[in-house]
Chains A and B, each alone.
Chain A
Amino acid sequence: MFTALEKIVFCTVQYWGLRKPKKDFIMEDRKLVETIEKYLTGAMSAQEVELFETLRKNTPEIDQMVVEHSMFLQHMDIYADRRNFTYLTEKTFERLLAAGEWADENTSTKTRVIQLWNKYKKVAAIAASVGGFIALTTSALMMYFSPSLNGNQLLQLSKAIEVIKKNQQVQGHLLNEVKSKVPENAKLISGGSGFLVNTKGYIITNAHVLKGNGAIVINHVGQELQATIIYADKALDLALLKIEDKDFIEPSSIPFSIRKKMSDLGEEIFTLGYPRNDNDIVYGKGYLSAQTGYEGDSSSFQIQISANPGYSGAPIFNDKGELIGIISTRQKLAEGVAFAIKSNKIIDLIENAKENDDKGEIKLKISKGEQHHAANRKDQISNLKNYIYSVRSYN
Chain B
Amino acid sequence: MKAELNEQALLKGLANNDSKVVETLYKSHFNMIQHFVINNNGSFDDARDVFQEGMIALYEKVQSESFVLTCQIKTYLFSICKHVWLKRLHQMGKYSSPLSVQEDSISVEEDLMDLEKKDAAFAIMDRALNSLGEPCKSLLEGYYINKKGMQELAADFGYTNADNAKNQKYKCLLRLKKLFFAQYNIGD
Looking at the complex, which one of A80, A83, A89, A102 makes contact with B31 (CB distance below 8 Å)?
A102
Q: Shortest distance in angstroms between A181's beta carbon and chain B's nearest beta carbon?
A: 46
Q: Is there contact, CB below 8 Å, between A79 and B125?
A: yes
Q: In the complex, what residues of A have CB within 8 A of residue B148's CB?
A: none
Residues of chain A contacted by B22 (CB below 8 angstroms): 88-89, 92
Task: Name the residue on B nearest A37 (C-beta).
Answer: B173
Q: Which residues from chain B contact A102 at a C-beta distance below 8 Å? A: 30-31, 34
How many residues from B make CB contacts under 8 Å with A?
Answer: 35
Which residue of the partner chain, among B19, B35, B144, contacts A76 with CB atoms under 8 Å?
B144
Contacts of B30 in A (CB 8 A): 93, 102
Give the residue name and chain of the A residue nearest to B48 (CB). A93
Give the contacts of A73-99 with B (CB-CB under 8 A): 75-76, 78-86, 88-93, 95-96
A96 to B56, CA, bound (A): 18
In which size bucket is the chain A interface?
20 to 34
Within 8 A of A (CB), among B85-142: 118, 121-122, 125-126
A29-B170, A33-B173, A80-B145 known; A104 vs B19 contact (CB < 8 Å): no
Task: Flag if A76 contacts B56 (CB, 8 Å).
Answer: no
Known: A92-B23, A96-B26, A102-B30. A30 touches B167 (CB 8 A): yes
Per the 8 Å Cβ criterion, residues 132-188 of B in contact with A are: 144-145, 166-167, 170, 173, 177, 180-181, 184
Are A96 and B125 CB-contacts (below 8 A) given A86-B56, A89-B52, A105-B35?
no
Query: Using a CB–CB distance below 8 Å, which chain B residues touch chain A?
Result: 17, 19, 22-23, 26-27, 30-31, 34-35, 38, 43-44, 48, 52, 55-56, 59-60, 63, 118, 121-122, 125-126, 144-145, 166-167, 170, 173, 177, 180-181, 184
A residues lining the B interface (CB < 8 Å): 26, 29-30, 33-34, 68-69, 72, 75-76, 78-86, 88-93, 95-96, 101-102, 104-106
17 A-B contacts, Cβ less than 8 Å apart?
A26-B170, A68-B181, A72-B180, A75-B180, A78-B60, A82-B118, A84-B17, A84-B145, A85-B56, A89-B56, A91-B19, A93-B30, A96-B23, A102-B31, A105-B34, A105-B38, A106-B43
